[in-house]
Structure 1
Amino acid sequence: MNGMRARQSQEVAPLQIETRRLLAATQSLMAANAHHVAYGIEDLRLKALVHELPDFLYVKDRQGRFVFANAITAKTLGFDNASALAGKTDFDLLPHDVAKEFFRIEQEILESGERRLEMEECVPSVDGSPPAYRLTSKIPLRNDQNEVIGLIGISRDITEQKRRENLRRGQAQLLEMIAKCEPLEMILEALVLLVETGLTGINGSILLLDPEGLHLFHGAAPNLPAAYSRLIDGVAIGPSVGSCGTAAWRGKPVIVSDIETDPLWEDFRGVVQKFGLRSCWSTPIMTPQGNVLGTFALYSSEVRTPTTREMELVDMATHIAGIAIERKRAEERIYFMAHHDDLTGLPNRAFLKDQMARILFQARRNSRKVTVAYIDLDNFKDINDGLGHGAGDEVLKELSARMVNCLRASDIIVRLGGDEFLVVLVHQARHDAGIMRRLRELQKVIARPIKIADADVTVTSSIGVAAFPFDGQTPEELLANADAAMYQAKQLGRNTLQYYYNRPNGADTMPISEEDELRHAIGSDQLFIEYQPQVDLETGKIVGLEALVRWRHPDRGVLPPGHFIPLAEETGLIIPLGLHVLNEACRQNKAWQDMGLPPVTIAVNVSAKQFSDPALAEHVVEALETSGLDPCWLELELTESTLMQDVPRALTVMRSLGTLGVRLSIDDFGTGYSSLAALKTFPFHRLKMDRAFVEALPRDETTVAIASAVISLARKLKLAVVAEGVETEEQLEFLRENRCDEAQGYRFSKPVAPGEIERMLRDGI
């Protein structure tokens, strides 16, 4: 700064020499009559020099009134004639605060008699353009008696120097921000503001090209209308997409002097007109290799082309913007490499550590749940050993891509290492009941065959699940508990899914809702199934069993279905609960057959929500294939209310189930308004007479008539009839007399454990 001022002082020195020559000629005249000063100066031989000087020269009296000013001074203050300035003060010409400061300094000079040299002044313009900067010296003017009678001011315009100095300072600050890795949006906004500071009536905008090179997105536009910035955010680039879209497409500047007539703006003219923007000059931001990173644009409300100086600023801005954007992208590449797996591209443990604390904080604040699923590939070692590590790598990449496509955008999947993965299901609502279904779907996606070297490779998985907040409060606890559940899934035979559940009595844990308890029960050993025999009334033998789920609650004891099925229906947990019953019933029935016991049909209830699940048929196939049970020994019980909600869809689903060889029955027949229509429409094998009819038999004549008619109708339709809730000998006798096929109820047996069914099948009831 001192060096700069010394140079500026040297530049002003010649003017000061000329001024000294003027002083000798003006001092006596000034003392005699201020009015004659101008006349005296006019008579001087230096008259032409004074008015032709590019620097400012003026004389003021002790009251701060202009006595004389050269032409450039008058013109700058808005006067064509220098003489018109005489008698006016700074208070007449400048903003009050500026004039007050000038007057204060000048009065100090007049009182002290000491000159002030090389003062830097900021002078507002009279036309609204940016302020001017001057380097000013003010010297006291004395008469023959050495009395101070006024002052002479000499100024040089240093606005351009000041602008360049500010520009260099701004550039240095921007480069410092880049070096300190400040956020890119802050750097770009500061860059636009720096450019706008040196211009009048111009607003800047930076748009960033996406990694695919197809669209431009908002980078910075601090003074453009926000509504306009939103409208152009995400605009596609192309050969005629305004100024910016075209500049990014061409890789060259696009200067549009009149938006209303230029064909490049034809499709966007209506968007921009309402904001009063008339010209737009856009320059691509490029890498040194010539790749487009984005665009820097200047907008004006006037129809015009940019000046040379404006384009110089754009060149500077695009250069710095390119440095900032490339630095940001380099940081992102480094972060990605440090937080992602080289082989699969999935996030790694470092990424998981960074994200989990934030995820749990948000979940705790919003009372949400987070589920983590620890996935281990069951037979991956066999692939590496049999086909080689190259094949193993291909399998891992394929399975990673499948899992990513199977998850929501808000979910996270991490490769922990080797053949282990972790899925984090985030942003769950209080009643998000689809977790089990989604994880089973993920398991099925993993198990689809993979073509490797002309061979189909199948990989199964064991999944352990833990949920925040009740299975752990920290990422470490959740991961450890999900890992423990995964090992339990391995021990249960692999290709299974297991919830973590290990809450000792009296443990200091967060209170959980009944829904949460039921969710855990589905994935643990709390749910179990009892079976109630269905007896052929002619032979007295067991020909079928109905699977009935029970809940062994840790605090409330064994709960019958009526205590928790409504909750499961309400929350959506009925789907994973129903799948649990389906799989276990098929497995148990096949186990009895493998013991050499007489084969029987196993009946499983299907709820309305299960029936509406598009994957129902797939779940049935999966249960049959996993257990090895022949489809003819599985019967699905449906209620007529479920079927009548959407008859065309119900028919489609039932036919798809029928093609599998599975039997279908209508449950609680006679309780709905459309029972006869249901029998006519749907492909049933059996109907179950509701216990409400059986209870009134044979006392109530109306019930007797209805029950007789139902049995007769079923026989004509070639449907077997099962009477539910048979408890007395009278009821049994009526059913036999009316040729009912089968009966079920306490008259034969209550629902019992699998071991008791084994005895019954072996020895008879």
Structure 2
Amino acid sequence: MQDTHSRRRLPEVPPEQSQIAVLQATVERLQAGFDDSTKAKKEWSAERTLLRAMVDHVPDALFVKDLQSRFIIINRTVARFHGLIDPDEVIGKTDFDLHTFETASKFFEIEQRIMQTGSPMIDMEEVVIDRPTGDTKWLSTSKVAMRNDQGEIVGLVGISRDVTVRKRDEILREEQAHVLEMIAMNLPLEKVLERIVLLMETQLQGVFGSILLLDPDGTHLKHGAAPSLPAAYNQAIDGTAIGPGVGSCGTAAYRRESVIVTDIANDPLWVDFRELAERYELRSCWSTPIISHLGAVLGTFAMYSRDIRAPDVWETNLTGLVTRIAAIAIERKLAEDQIIFVAHHDSLTGLANRTLLKDRLVQAMLQTERYNPCVSVVFVDLDDFKSVNDSLGHAAGDQLLKIVAGRMVDCVRPIDAVVRLGGDEFVILLVDQPEGTDAISATLDKMRMAIAEPISIEGRPFHIACSMGVATYPNDGPDAEALLTNADAAMYKAKEAGGDGFQFFTAEMNVKVHERLALQDAMRDGIGRSEFYLVYQPQVDIQSGRIFAVEALVRWKHPVRGVISPNEFITLAEETGLIVPLGDWVLNEACRQNKAWQDAGLPPVSVCVNVSARQFQDKKWTSHVTSALEESGLDARYLELELTESLVMRDVDQAIVTMKELQALGVHFAIDDFGTGYSSLSALKSLPVSRLKIDQSFVLNLATDEDDRTIAAVVISLGQRLNLKVIAEGVETNEQLGFLRDSHCDEFQGYLFSRPVEAAAIAALLQA
């Protein structure tokens, strides 16, 4: 039967305490040797040598001190730590002989307390300097009181374990976490980079860190952080160009790889900077490029040493870690700067946008109040810019806008500002202006002539003019909004005067501005209060005289002003975006009324609805049309949507996609105002349209103007060749109708047959 006691495990003893026990036993044996005067010297020497070998075999630092904290026994680890070979050289000395006074005082105070109280100190952290290397060391030390056979405290036994590597790793992890926290808290980049450099410097001895940042132009390195290098040295290398032989950092950024220079004085890469480095006793430099996650060079991280040497494995690994953290911080800052830039600048031209304009304007107005210079706001709108978009597309229009924006910037001072509001609208902020209009007029004349210079796009020359309106603080407005509104009003006055010029704001213009704003508010309210209604103009087959369709036209009956002409409110609706809700109402009402006529037993006709550019560009436009048909119950084949050719030409490919989606439902399309835009025949051929509409401007003088007759005949012939119906609008005389009939035009509408009338009148016409 197995003995149960043999299976019992002894209690585990911490290694340090076990070693202390061994050391105490050793001391006791040595003390016994000291006390036994009858023991032969030879035996004592052998015993002492054996015990010393046992103590020296322990890798930790083992020592024994007397009541005065004098070393009486140490092993070789302690001696080596103090730069000594023979342990006996330490015997009889105290910590005051081996350490700084501050460190020795701390050790002495703790040891005296242990020997007075008998309470041990276990695993206490101590920081000391390694004499041979000068490096900082972290020790985990345990010290216990040593007693004799009578239980009296006669000294102290201690053991110290070098935990520098572990402590260094702990500090590194803590510093990493702190730096990442700084990045997450969006602290200034210079503070983050400085902390990263200090992180590295706490891990290494005699090494100074430096971070340089690559300029946006990608050709120069700017100072980022180097807290331990002389400020004069940092200033001297700030702005260093990158290249194949520009020190360690310039070369590392150029090569996109680490560059290790162990001896600056004799390395060809440092020829131009050798004297500078020598002045500050820098002997070696190891530089690593900081690379973004996309592979772009963001800057360099360098380590300098006053010794001629290369980095060891630990330093190389640390460099890799530090550069990755630096890359995160720099990329975060670049992303933040980009977000701020996008929030305050126009993406096409790079000019400031409306948000930044208001901030700049408010600051300029405060300066005006303090120092009395004038600040002027200039509202700029390009004349006939629409023709560029319509003829060559938006890409060409964008190119022209960037060229014009550059010309505007060249015409003003650096303290002024050019802002793009959107489309072809710009605002120029002229600050610190003298009183009077002469200086402003000279600037605007210069700008007007610069903009008017020919611009070649896709081999085609364009001459762009502009209309400008000026409002000056404080005379023309008490705040930023008022100034912008009044400058806008002055710009419209310049357009009314024929464009290609500028106007200064006057009080009379303010009246018109308020009238326009009042009309805009009234129109918004009118849509909600059902003040708008539809009239319908018949479209007639020329040969048979039969009504086959009606065009829905919107009218507004204001509760105070009465019926307001569409010429007065349609343009305003387009500019303000109110055309979208108004257009949706027109579509729904036209579909509802047409279905009502059919339900009343009237001959079925198509209803034609004009579509605005804002409506057509809405991504939900197709669903709006589908919803109008479903809610009214109208068959899609009885709905025709009229699009202007300029609208379609803005983005032909997208227009075709949208039109075909609706065509699949049965909806028809007509090109309105044909002949006034710049359609290409290839684009027209690809559009899913069934009807061309000759603009009334060509119909008006058909009886007398040979050019208009030619244009009308060409459009009719073109339509027939493309298997399209051709309808002429604005027909008012028999002469006009006679020419259209002789030219084989298919259809017409106009006062000659009927003015636009209300739904009841259309019902009567259909019955007749």
TM-score, normalized by length of structure 2?
Answer: 0.58
Structure 1 residues 327 and 17, CA, compared in 2 at 3 Å: closer, same or farther? same
Displacement of 1:421 after TM fit?
A: 0.9
Please tell me whether the aligned partners of residues 147 and 155 of structure 2 are also in contact (alpha carbons under 8 angstroms): yes
Q: Which moved more, 1:343-352 or 1:116-125?
A: 343-352
Q: 2:74 & 2:51 partners in 1: Cα distance? A: 14
Q: 1:489 & 1:42 partners in 2: Cα distance? A: 114
Q: 1:128 & 1:171 partners in 2: Cα distance? A: 27
Residue of 68, 71, 82 corresponding to 1:63 = 68
Segments of structure 2 that go 5 or more residues without pairing to the other structure are 1-11, 509-768
Deviations 1:268-315 (A, max 9, x none): 333433222222111111234433222111112222222222212211
Deviations 1:691-738 (A, max 9, x none): xxxxxxxxxxxxxxxxxxxxxxxxxxxxxxxxxxxxxxxxxxxxxxxx
Q: 1:393 & 1:84 partners in 2: Cα distance? A: 86
Residue of 22, 36, 41 corresponding to 1:18 = 22
3-state DSSP of counterpart to 2:447: helix
Deviations 1:399-429 (A, max 9, x none): 1232233344443322112221122345779
Residue of 87, 91, 98 corresponding to 1:86 = 91
Please tell me whether the aligned partners of residues 30 and 48 of structure 2 are also in contact (alpha carbons under 8 angstroms): no
Q: Which residue of 2 aligns with 1:113?
A: 118
Q: Which residue of 1 aligns with 2:448?
A: 443
Q: Which amino acid aligns with 1:248?
A: A
Structure 1 residues 166 and 442, CA, compared in 2 at 3 Å: closer, same or farther? same
Structure 1 residues 32 and 447, CA, compared in 2 at 3 Å: closer, same or farther? farther
Please tell me whether the aligned partners of residues 83 and 132 of structure 2 are also in contact (alpha carbons under 8 angstroms): no
Is the aligned partner of 1:49 residue 2:54? Answer: yes
Q: Which residue of 2 aligns with 1:150?
A: 155
Q: Which amino acid aligns with 1:18?
A: V
Structure 1 residues 301 and 408, CA, compared in 2 at 3 Å: closer, same or farther? farther
Please tell me whether the aligned partners of residues 135 and 205 of structure 2 are also in contact (alpha carbons under 8 angstroms): yes
3-state DSSP of counterpart to 2:186: coil
Q: 2:373 & 2:96 partners in 1: Cα distance? A: 66
Q: Which amino acid aligns with 1:352?
A: L
Deviations 1:562-584 (A, max 9, x none): xxxxxxxxxxxxxxxxxxxxxxx
Q: Which amino acid aligns with 2:235?
A: R
Q: Which residue of 2 aligns with 1:270?
A: 275
Q: Which amino acid aligns with 1:245?
A: G
Displacement of 1:30 after TM fit?
A: 8.7
Structure 1 residues 142 and 363, CA, compared in 2 at 3 Å: closer, same or farther? farther
Please tell me whether the aligned partners of residues 82 and 132 of structure 2 are also in contact (alpha carbons under 8 angstroms): no
Q: Which residue of 1 aligns with 2:246?
A: 241
Deviations 1:185-229 (A, max 9, x none): 222111111111222222111122223322222221222222222
Is the aligned partner of 1:458 residue 2:463? Answer: yes
Residue of 411, 420, 423 corresponding to 1:415 = 420
Deviations 1:311-336 (A, max 9, x none): 12211111111222222222233333
Residue of 385, 389, 399 corresponding to 1:380 = 385
Deviations 1:46-72 (A, max 9, x none): 321212322111111222222222222
Displacement of 1:368 after TM fit?
A: 6.2
Q: Which residue of 1 aligns with 2:299?
A: 294
Q: Which amino acid aligns with 2:153?
A: V
Structure 1 residues 469 and 137, CA, compared in 2 at 3 Å: closer, same or farther? farther
Structure 1 residues 247 and 469, CA, compared in 2 at 3 Å: closer, same or farther? farther
Q: Which residue of 1 aligns with 2:196?
A: 191
Please tell me whether the aligned partners of residues 374 and 483 of structure 1 are also in contact (alpha carbons under 8 angstroms): yes
Displacement of 1:435 after TM fit?
A: 4.7
Q: 2:129 & 2:367 partners in 1: Cα distance? A: 52
Q: Which residue of 2 aligns with 1:540?
A: none
Please tell me whether the aligned partners of residues 134 and 159 of structure 1 are also in contact (alpha carbons under 8 angstroms): yes
Q: 1:75 & 1:149 partners in 2: Cα distance? A: 26
Q: 1:41 & 1:118 partners in 2: Cα distance? A: 34
Deviations 1:556-602 (A, max 9, x none): xxxxxxxxxxxxxxxxxxxxxxxxxxxxxxxxxxxxxxxxxxxxxxx
Q: 2:164 & 2:367 partners in 1: Cα distance? A: 53
Q: 2:280 & 2:506 partners in 1: Cα distance? A: 61
Please tell me whether the aligned partners of residues 433 and 439 of structure 2 are also in contact (alpha carbons under 8 angstroms): no
Structure 1 residues 226 and 469, CA, compared in 2 at 3 Å: closer, same or farther? farther
3-state DSSP of counterpart to 1:191: helix
Structure 1 residues 248 and 385, CA, compared in 2 at 3 Å: closer, same or farther? closer
Is the aligned partner of 1:216 residue 2:221? Answer: yes
Displacement of 1:479 after TM fit?
A: 3.0
Structure 1 residues 362 and 144, CA, compared in 2 at 3 Å: closer, same or farther? farther
Is the aligned partner of 1:325 residue 2:330? Answer: yes
Deviations 1:356-404 (A, max 9, x none): 5556667767776644322222333454456554543333232123223
Structure 1 residues 453 and 118, CA, compared in 2 at 3 Å: closer, same or farther? closer
Q: 1:152 & 1:331 partners in 2: Cα distance? A: 59
Displacement of 1:451 after TM fit?
A: 2.6
Displacement of 1:99 after TM fit?
A: 2.0
Q: Which amino acid aligns with 1:274?
A: R
Deviations 1:77-121 (A, max 9, x none): 343332222232223332222222222221221121111111111
Q: 2:488 & 2:34 partners in 1: Cα distance? A: 99
Q: 1:298 & 1:426 partners in 2: Cα distance? A: 48
Residue of 122, 130, 134 corresponding to 2:127 = 122
Deviations 1:226-257 (A, max 9, x none): 22222222222211111111111111111112
Q: Which residue of 1 aligns with 2:488?
A: 483
Q: 1:260 & 1:277 partners in 2: Cα distance? A: 9
* 1:165-204 correspondence runs (5 A): 165-204=170-209
3-state DSSP of counterpart to 1:129: coil
Please tell me whether the aligned partners of residues 30 and 143 of structure 1 are also in contact (alpha carbons under 8 angstroms): no
Is the aligned partner of 1:138 residue 2:143? Answer: yes
Please tell me whether the aligned partners of residues 256 and 280 of structure 1 are also in contact (alpha carbons under 8 angstroms): yes
Please tell me whether the aligned partners of residues 65 and 71 of structure 2 are also in contact (alpha carbons under 8 angstroms): yes
Please tell me whether the aligned partners of residues 251 and 259 of structure 2 are also in contact (alpha carbons under 8 angstroms): yes
Displacement of 1:32 after TM fit?
A: 10
Please tell me whether the aligned partners of residues 31 and 143 of structure 1 are also in contact (alpha carbons under 8 angstroms): no
Q: Which amino acid aligns with 2:210?
A: S
Q: Which moved more, 1:13-22 or 1:443-452?
A: 13-22
Please tell me whether the aligned partners of residues 370 and 428 of structure 1 are also in contact (alpha carbons under 8 angstroms): yes
Q: 1:208 & 1:188 partners in 2: Cα distance? A: 10
Displacement of 1:28 after TM fit?
A: 5.8
Q: 2:253 & 2:59 partners in 1: Cα distance? A: 44
Structure 1 residues 292 and 370, CA, compared in 2 at 3 Å: closer, same or farther? same
Q: 1:501 & 1:267 partners in 2: Cα distance? A: 64
Q: Which residue of 2 aligns with 1:5?
A: none
Please tell me whether the aligned partners of residues 376 and 463 of structure 1 are also in contact (alpha carbons under 8 angstroms): yes
Deviations 1:649-701 (A, max 9, x none): xxxxxxxxxxxxxxxxxxxxxxxxxxxxxxxxxxxxxxxxxxxxxxxxxxxxx
Structure 1 residues 71 and 343, CA, compared in 2 at 3 Å: closer, same or farther? same
Is the aligned partner of 1:347 residue 2:352? Answer: yes
Q: 2:460 & 2:500 partners in 1: Cα distance? A: 21
Q: Which residue of 2 aligns with 1:752?
A: none
Please tell me whether the aligned partners of residues 23 and 141 of structure 1 are also in contact (alpha carbons under 8 angstroms): no
3-state DSSP of counterpart to 2:287: strand
Is the aligned partner of 1:398 residue 2:403? Answer: yes
Identity %: 48
Q: 1:339 & 1:172 partners in 2: Cα distance? A: 33
Q: Which amino acid aligns with 1:441?
A: K
Q: Which amino acid aligns with 1:256?
A: V
Segments of structure 1 that go 5 or more residues without pairing to the other structure are 1-7, 504-765
